[in-house]
Amino acid sequence: MPSVCGSLGPKRFQYPHEVSLLFEGQHWADRNCLSLAAEAPSAVPTVHLMAATASTMSLSWLPPEKPNGIILDYEIKYHEKDQGEAIAHTMTAQRSNARIEGLKAGTPYVVQVRARTVAGYGRYSSPADFSTNLQTDPPKSWQEQLPLIVGSATATLVFIIAVVVIAIVCLRKQRNGSESEYTEKLQQYITPGMKVYIDPFTYEDPNEAVREFAKEIDVSCVKIEEVIGAGEFGEVCRGRLKLPGRREIIVAIKTLKVGYTDRQRRDFLSEASIMGQFDHPNIIRLEGVVTKSRPVMIVTEFMENGALDSFLRLNDGQFTVIQLVGMLRGIAAGMKYLSDMNYVHRDLAARNILVNSNLVCKVSDFGLSRFLEDDPTDPTYTSSLGGKIPIRWTAPEAIAYRKFTSASDVWSYGIVMWEVMSYGERPYWDMSNQDVINAVEQDYRLPPPMDCPTALHQLMLDCWVKERNLRPKFTQIVATLDKLIRNAASLKVVTNSTQSTG
């Protein structure tokens, strides 16, 4: 069982110009007293040979049934069958497939794969025997390739003509001052392979966005079991989903309250239209919607451990630094995916990160809280220029000018890092929102939480650079965290500060 070996009394952080932050000390565990350890992933299932030539083999496999965390990469071990493991070669792959090159023709090989998480490597898969081809395919003469060359040239010419025609149509519409809801889709057609987020509010009919991005579920497939919370528009429930031909799964169900207006229904379903465009292991997965019966529902995957902030407070001091960094890495990977799709979250905070039973963190809450009425009992969101802003998590330029970008999401991510390393403390403690704004404007930054590695606090400070163009991109943040995970010794350097960074 985890053990807690010490506690701190209230500690006051002194700031210049009489700015102070009161840290109400909670129970903190001594690093040497923790007995909770991360478990390595289970073995990779059977490896499959997808294709082979005289010198290469293309392989694929399924992830472990029990990853027990975020899979960082896979290690592939292979050797000639008649030579044994003594001279085996290894390589790594980021995905569940790989191509081995430089092999001997007509030679049998033994291949095994294992997964790696922050807890280390799991067990290898069972040995699989595959052979390369005897020889490469003979080269075709130019006469045999002529039809292919002509066909490719014709297809290329047709594509160029299509692009020119589409460009002319778009230019004419721009000159006429008219905008088409399909222009963005045409632009995506011109640049295939680059998936870009589409704002559902650009649709003249919001229901069209729901139909395009969210799957309609028959209400008979959904069973609500219990209410587990309240959302912006109604209740949040735990339930079960049984689709035809698929096994029954546990799901989370958001329901729209009775007596809703057309605008409330539109705003409620817009979250499904947004969520349905995403497909990433660190983004909450949409199962579908129920719109043809009452109540209207949004059905998503169920996350056993709930919101990250409350989960951390409930398990104060019970995780290793590597486990916490693994959580942060997952959140950063999800945000990198959103940033690559040109989606700006605007409300990234630990309360909007959900945690499953394997400690995998997923970004959630793609709702439109900024459009809702003010709640004077909840100081988290403050009115600003006609919208609601979570002051403690928001970048200065977004507060002052409503300038929300991926760079402002990076600022918020730095606050999430601080929340995680402090086990769910409230950023800036009991300071008022206006005091927070003033302190940040005067270049005060949150000090490192107790026992926070120096490298992590430096990454937080990088996220809180006032000039937004100088903040790291999420791609860089993921790379930095991966480097820290690989070099665990760097996480042992700790600088506990009692003053703010200014």
Query: Which residues does the annotation mark as catalytic?
Result: 347
d(CA 437, CA 391): 7
- Cβ atoms of residues 222 and 302 within 8 Å: no
Burial of 107 (0-12, 13-18, 19+ CB in 10 A): middle
d(CA 59, CA 314): 43
d(CA 470, CA 472): 6
Which tokens go with 354?
A: 């959900």
d(CA 29, CA 2): 9
DSSP string of 310-374?
HHHHHTTT-S-HHHHHHHHHHHHHHHHHHHHTT---S---GGGEEE-TT--EEE---S-GGGSPP
User: Dihedral through CA 12, CA 15, CA 19, CA 24, nearest 10?
Assistant: -20
d(CA 42, CA 124): 9
DSSP collapsed to 3 states, 49-117: EEEECCCCEEEECCCCCCCCCCCCEEEEEEEECCCCHHHCEEEEECCCEEEECCCCCCCEEEEEEEEEE
List C-alpha distances in Å: 411 to 94, 125, 150, 405, 441.
28, 41, 53, 10, 14
Q: What is the CA radius of gyration of the chain?
A: 26
d(CA 36, CA 488): 17
* DSSP symbol at 392: G
Neighbours of 64 (CB within 10 A): 22
Question: Quick one: residue 190, left, alpha or beta (phi over 0 = left, psi -120 to 50 = alpha)?
Answer: alpha
* DSSP symbol at 469: G
Q: Which has the closest alpha carbon to 63: 55, 54, 72?
A: 72
d(CA 480, CA 468): 19
| 257 carries a ligand binding annotation | no
Binding residues, as ranges, are 254
- Binding residues for ATP are 254
